[in-house]
Amino acid sequence: MAKRPIGIGSLIEATLGRHGIKKQVTAAMVVVRANELLVEYLQPPLRDDVRAASYKDNRLTLGCRTAASAYEVQPLIADIGKRIEEYIPDISIIGYDVRIKPEMWREW
């Protein structure tokens, strides 16, 4: 009896689950995709003032350098969230937070 091949996606998912890092990897994927979409949606100089900060407990948090950039990104965030859910179907974004976080732009 021949063995059925295992898909690479199943193998990766099992490995992540076994090592207990699936949530962290998923969160990183959401943040990376959100930042890609922000570049697509926003024009300079606003593009340089907004970044995805985190994805935790099904909430996406964006960090903004200024109050003006936080105000400007508000109408876009739900659409960005839908696009992320299409790209990563295993997640569900139930809420959004937009925070003024100028410390995200500090050079260390």
Domains for the chain: give ranges and CATH numbers. Answer: 9-101 (3.30.300.180)
What pLDDT is recorded for position 4? 73
DSSP string, 7-26: PHHHHHHHHHHHHT-HHHHH
Q: Are strands 95-100 and 50-56 parallel, antiparallel or unpaired?
A: unpaired
Q: State mean pLDDT over 4-32.
A: 76
Q: Which of 16-20, 26-30, 42-46, 49-53 has the lowest mean pLDDT?
A: 16-20
Handedness of CA 22, 23, 24, 26 (dihedral sign): positive
Instruction: Let me know: does 52 contact 62? Beta carbons within 8 Å.
Output: yes
Tell me: the pLDDT tens digits for 45-96?
999 999 999 999 999 999 999 999 999 999 999 999 999 999 999 899 999 9
Instruction: Let me know: does 98 contact 77? Beta carbons within 8 Å.
Output: yes
What pLDDT is recorded for position 75? 95
Q: Look at the pTM and tell me if it is higher than 0.85.
A: no
